[in-house]
Chain A
Amino acid sequence: MNTTKEENPLKKVFIICSKGNLEDVYAALVMTNGAVMEGIEAKLFFTFFGLDAITKSQLNKLHTAAVGNPAMRMPGGLPFPTILGIIPGVEAGISLMMKKEMEKLDIPTVKEFLEMIVAGGGVIYACKLAADMFKLKKEDFVDEVSDIITVGQLYEMAGGLGTQIIFV
């Protein structure tokens, strides 16, 4: 059976973002926007702490974990002792540094990224279960969010040949 990318092109991606930290949210955003830029139909679904990325009051305040993040290092490559992460302001400082580095690479803010995705034809959803759990309503989310949907609706939309579901 031939399974080259010419015969089986990727037609649709459904990206699920369940985390609320900077790097995981951006991973989901880059993947979704990347798909849209390639002409691949893309849907982005935020659940649990991922809802922070689409909540008006939170999306500008996303952070990277400073405590218990085994991949965290000092600039220069020396290890970053987790105990340093407890000091007030360190987490915010690290997150700000990461945002600055991203800006240098022309990576947009979360809000701008969501706008770009929707402008390109991507669709953004929030998870009903998580929204109910965190007591969030459609008004709490940014305008780019189309709808609050259930897992059943997600699976209905994720059908079709050439579709991939990607979980971040």
Chain B
Amino acid sequence: MAEKTIAGVIVKVNDEGYFENPAQWTKDMAIAMSSEVGLTLTDKHFAVIDFLRKKFLEGDVLTIRKVGNSGIVDIKEFYQLFPGGPLKLSSKLAGIPKPTSCI
């Protein structure tokens, strides 16, 4: 566990950079974190991030299939918006824990 300063606020993150306390997250932090990885967030990115946060706060298990069926993006777009490991990256930028599903 470590502390990181994101957008001028000290935030508790775990060893992999995921938020320990999702309630600390703000939009500015997402922007700061995304620029660290060379990603520019658009409205579409935030639509996905909002969806992920909403599902997480409802206690839903996040799967890539759910994102694909969300009506916000399809799976191909999801991979384009968040290159590399999309569910992991978008969860990190959304300030929610690392996804644990195998799907």
Query: B60-103 toward A: CB 8 Å interface, digit per residue (1/0)?
Result: 01011110100000111001000111111000000000000111
Is the beta-carbon distance between A106 and B66 smaller than 8 angstroms? yes
A-to-B contact residues, CB < 8 Å: 30, 33-34, 37-39, 105-108, 112, 115-116, 119-121
**22 intermolecular pairs with C-beta atoms under 8 Å apart:** A30-B102, A30-B103, A33-B64, A33-B103, A34-B102, A37-B64, A37-B85, A37-B86, A38-B85, A39-B83, A39-B85, A105-B103, A106-B63, A106-B101, A116-B65, A116-B68, A119-B74, A119-B75, A119-B76, A120-B75, A120-B86, A121-B79
Chain A nearest CB, measured from B90 CB (Å): 11
A115 CA to B68 CA in the complex, in Å? 11
Is the beta-carbon distance between B85 and A107 smaller than 8 angstroms? no
Closest to A29 in B: B103
Q: Which residues of A contact B66 (CB under 8 A)?
A: 106
Given A30-B103, A38-B88, A116-B68, does the pair A106, B61 have CB atoms closer than 8 Å? yes
Contact of B103 among A108, A119, A121 (CB under 8 A): A108
Q: Which residues of A contact B87 (CB under 8 A)?
A: 37
Chain B nearest CB, measured from A168 CB (Å): 15
Is the beta-carbon distance between A106 and B103 smaller than 8 angstroms? yes
A124 CA to B83 CA in the complex, in Å? 20
Q: Which residues of A contact B83 (CB under 8 A)?
A: 39
A15 CA to B64 CA in the complex, in Å? 20
A107 CA to B61 CA in the complex, in Å? 12
Query: B8-38 toward A: CB 8 Å interface, digit per residue (1/0)?
Result: 0000000000000000000000000000000
Q: Which residues of A contact B61 (CB under 8 A)?
A: 106
A46 CA to B12 CA in the complex, in Å? 45
